[in-house]
Structure 1
Amino acid sequence: MARLAIMYHIIRKSHVSELKQRRNDRRMMRYTDRAFSMCENEFIANYRVSKNLFQEIYQNLKAFMPTPKRKSDISPKFKILVALSFYATGSYQKLVGGTYGTLMSQQCVSRAIRDVTAALNHQLVLNKWIKFPQTRQERDAIKRRFYEKYHIPSILGCIDGTHVAIIRPKENEERYFNRKHFHFKNVMITSDADLKILSVDVSYGGATHDSFIWNQHPVKQHLINLNSNGENVYLLGDSGYAQREYMMTPIVDAPVGSPEEYYTKMHCHARNTVERSIGVLKNRWRCLLRHRVLHYHPDVASKIINACCVLHNICITKLDNTIIYPEGNSEDDGHDNLNVIFQHSTASTAAADLRRGIEKRAVLVQQLWARRM
């Protein structure tokens, strides 16, 4: 009799567990189906990508996400939906979990954002979607595209810094605080002529100047090596960067009607590419906007920024232009002390580098002036 009672208890417990699992499966399927039951425009408004592109993102990320260990675990597809909703709105986790199509607790939202962000920061994913051109063929393709659009030769990219606000960190606060009295990450971005991000550096806080970040970046040495080997390539930067052979900057206060003024206008028109790239990035993934503020540790905020840059490049590569964004950066980052240039070389070396850079720019000025008609 006791054996029968035990067997009945085991069978009943198994049946109840199975019913709970079925209810959980139906609940998760219902939430996912609820998201995909939206019309295309509503889906894009909530997740910033089309339904077809979402499927491609899922296929790219599922191999890098944790494998569900229990039947009650949330599926990778649903986690990506939740993370996209957070990136797109910058809302609090509890509000994201209460949104139509992504119903779950705040703790589950937190885990979903963590897992998806980690997948987007996986080295294989980063190297696939954000990569500076390494071959001559890749560089020539980018230079040719810039010349077709802006009629300036040898441009390999445009560079600028942008601010992403974070909450006050508990440690090393002075690294992130700026004169506007808020804390942020100073993110260095390089983009090509089609707004695709070629490199991103999220290592520094807001107290660090753009030029200092550039001087520590490996791309700088890469460009120096290319020019030393006889390949004519350079980036376009604003006046916050030092004029060099590998960095073309505008000529401040150029006389009206002069070749220098003509060069500066063309330079600014072309360099606007990176500002538009940042504008599209922030207007698609609005968690990066200054007034949203990332409520995370600086290291976690850096990973979220990287994740948004990867998603930005996926959208650009797949030509997902279903949402129209304002051209130009959506915020005035207000760089501090733009005329202050940080140097780490000796005075004589810096002077020689500056002289060669000015000479190269003078040649470019005359080339553009001669072709203006």
Structure 2
Amino acid sequence: MQAKYIKFPQTSEERREIMIRFSNKFQMPGVLGCIDCTHVAIVSPEENEERYYCRKQYHSLNVQLISNADMQIMSVDASFGGATHDSFIWANHPIKDHMEVISRNEAIWLLGDSGYPLRRYLMTPITDTSPDTPEAHYTYLHVRTRNVVERTIGLLKARFRCLLVHRVLHYSPPVAAFIVNACVILHNICNSRNIPVQVLTNEEALLEISRQADNDTHQQPPRSATSSNNRELNEGLSIRRALVSRLWSSRSHAPIN
């Protein structure tokens, strides 16, 4: 079921279709997907409890998701505990190696936040930009485009409220991971058929907003400055500079609505 309904593009034709969709919707070229992690609360495990106690001060799975421009989830990894940094999950994921290979022949990348390392196949925002500069324009488009994965996470949790941060899965980590995977499969089925989502109740929405506000004070520090390989970082910087220049030069020809 997971292989049938959660598919990362394997051919150049599939990748091209996704990139065109991102470009048409967000005016951001070369984007194959947007990556982020989200915490799913679980009860305290009997074994290796410390691996699941996250920076947000509860036990959780740290679930990595990659979405396309239409909020379909192309990859899910629910195998890591909440104490694991987002960038560590990505560094140990097979899609990273896959992206490393295909990016040698294709101008293609994922979009991640500043907690991820800048690579030729993974574009990150530029911090502390000045207004009305090429770097600010790039970062605006980056953030605007990458927001699709955050909306995907919100939609997934609105559909399956057992994943909401104020709910708790009363199962062992492996069983909780199976539940997350099942929810992603069902989300993709619902999303592809345009099945509407019932809105959260006022109480649920307030609880979620309250926990999210607390989460914002516990953001992960970027790891790229201390753990990046210099050659890979330099490749990423070179490609990002070229992308910044390309977006700046074409901004008047592709107005943003």
Structure 2-normalised TM-score?
Answer: 0.89
Matched to 1:136, the amino acid is S
Once the two structures are TM-superposed, the CA of residue 170 in structure 1 deviates from its matched residue by 0.8
Aligned counterpart for 2:164 among listed residues 271, 286, 289: 289
- The answer (yes or no) to whether the contact 1:212–1:342 under 8 Å persists in 2 is no
Question: Which structure ranks higher in relative contact order (CA pairs < 8 Å, sequence separation ≥ 6)?
Answer: 2
Change in Cα spacing, 1:366 to 1:324, as seen in structure 2 (3 Å) is farther
Once the two structures are TM-superposed, the CA of residue 181 in structure 1 deviates from its matched residue by 2.2
The secondary structure found in structure 2 opposite 1:290 is coil
Once the two structures are TM-superposed, the CA of residue 343 in structure 1 deviates from its matched residue by 7.5
Q: Distance in 1 between matches of 2:95 and 2:76?
A: 10
- The answer (yes or no) to whether the contact 1:157–1:192 under 8 Å persists in 2 is yes
Moved over 4 A (4+): 333-336
Once the two structures are TM-superposed, the CA of residue 178 in structure 1 deviates from its matched residue by 2.2
Q: Distance in 1 between matches of 2:67 and 2:85?
A: 19
The equivalent of 2:251 in structure 1 is: 372
User: Which protein shows a greater Rg?
Assistant: 1
| 1:304 pairs with 2:183 | no
The equivalent of 2:221 in structure 1 is: 338
| 1:363 pairs with 2:239 | no
The equivalent of 2:37 in structure 1 is: 161
| 1:263 pairs with 2:146 | no
| 1:192 pairs with 2:57 | no
Q: Distance in 2 between matches of 1:353 and 1:212?
A: 16
Once the two structures are TM-superposed, the CA of residue 137 in structure 1 deviates from its matched residue by 1.1
Once the two structures are TM-superposed, the CA of residue 290 in structure 1 deviates from its matched residue by 1.2
Residue by residue, what CA displacement relative to the aligned partner does 1:165-195 show, whole Å, maximum 9, x if unpaired? 0011111001001233210000000000000
The secondary structure found in structure 2 opposite 1:365 is helix
The equivalent of 2:129 in structure 1 is: 254
The secondary structure found in structure 2 opposite 1:203 is coil
Cα RMSD (Å) = 1.9
Structure 1: runs of 5 or more not aligned? 1-124
Q: Distance in 1 between matches of 2:29 and 2:220?
A: 30
The secondary structure found in structure 2 opposite 1:212 is helix
User: What percentage of aligned pairs have identical amino acids?
Assistant: 49
- The answer (yes or no) to whether the contact 2:60–2:81 under 8 Å persists in 1 is yes
* Mean CA deviation greater in 311-320 or 193-202: 311-320
Structure 1-normalised TM-score?
Answer: 0.62
Change in Cα spacing, 1:200 to 1:236, as seen in structure 2 (3 Å) is same
Q: Distance in 2 between matches of 1:217 and 1:308?
A: 21
Name the structure with the higher helix share. 1
